[in-house]
C-alpha cells in the first residue's frame, strides 16, 4: 500500500511531532516525524520539532513535507528535510449538488474539507459563498485513488 505522507496536518505532542494524513484507503493515520541531518542520517522527533518551529510552522498547520520514509512496518517514520505551509488556490466556486468544485484557470478541482470530506459544501455555504463566486482557499492539492484532482481545504478567505 502506498502511503501519501507528503501532506497533512502537523501535530506537536510531548516534545515529538506527527503528520496526520490519510492513507490510500482514506483512513486517518499519524506518522511520527524525525529530522534528516546534514549528513543525510536520521535524527530524532525533537530535532524535527525544532526544524519545523524554525520554519515558522505550528501545531495544526496544514503542511507539505519534503522527506522520506524510514523504519519498518508498522513503525514507519517520516524523515523531514524541509516543510512548507499549504498553498493558496484561487478560482470560481461551483456547487454541483452536494459537491463543491473550484474552477481554476486550468481544470476543475473537487473541494473537500481537510480531514472531513463530507462538510466542504456546508462549510462554504455557511460562509455565505454562492455558486459562481470567486474564492480563495488554502489547502493541499492531491489526486484521489480514482484519479480525481482534489483540493483539501484548510481555510477559506473571508470566513
Domain ranges in the chain are 7-85, 88-156
| This prediction's pTM | 0.72
The label of the residue with cell 481554476 reads: 104
Helix (H, G, I), strand (E, B) or coil at 150: strand
Q: What is the mean pLDDT of residues 124-153?
A: 88
Identity of the highest mean pLDDT range in 20-29, 68-77, 130-139, 149-158: 130-139
Does residue 159 carry a pLDDT above 90? no
How confident is the model at residue 4, as a pLDDT? 47
- CATH C-level class of 7-85: mainly beta
Dihedral pair phi/psi, residue 31, rounded to 5°? -120, 125
Q: With contact defined as beta carbons under 8 Å apart, do 43 and 34 qualify?
A: yes
Amino acid at each position: 500500500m502506498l502511503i501519501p505522507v507528503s501532506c497533512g496536518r502537523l501535530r506537536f505532542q510531548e516534545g515529538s511531532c506527527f503528520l496526520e494524513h490519510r492513507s490510500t484507503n482514506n483512513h486517518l493515520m499519524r506518522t511520527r516525524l524525525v529530522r534528516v541531518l546534514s549528513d543525510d542520517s536520521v535524527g530524532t522527533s525533537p530535532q524535527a520539532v525544532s526544524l519545523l518551529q524554525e520554519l515558522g510552522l505550528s501545531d495544526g498547520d496544514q503542511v507539505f513535507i519534503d522527506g522520506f520514509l524510514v523504519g519498518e512496518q508498522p513503525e514507519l517514520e517520516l524523515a523531514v528535510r524541509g516543510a512548507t505551509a499549504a498553498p493558496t488556490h484561487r478560482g470560481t466556486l461551483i456547487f454541483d449538488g452536494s459537491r463543491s468544485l473550484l474552477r481554476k484557470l486550468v481544470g476543475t478541482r473537487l473541494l473537500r474539507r481537510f480531514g472531513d470530506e463530507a462538510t466542504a459544501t456546508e462549510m462554504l455555504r455557511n460562509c455565505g459563498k454562492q455558486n459562481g463566486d470567486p474564492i480563495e482557499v488554502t489547502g493541499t492539492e492531491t489526486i484521489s485513488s480514482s484519479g480525481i484532482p482534489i483540493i483539501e481545504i484548510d481555510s477559506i478567505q473571508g470566513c
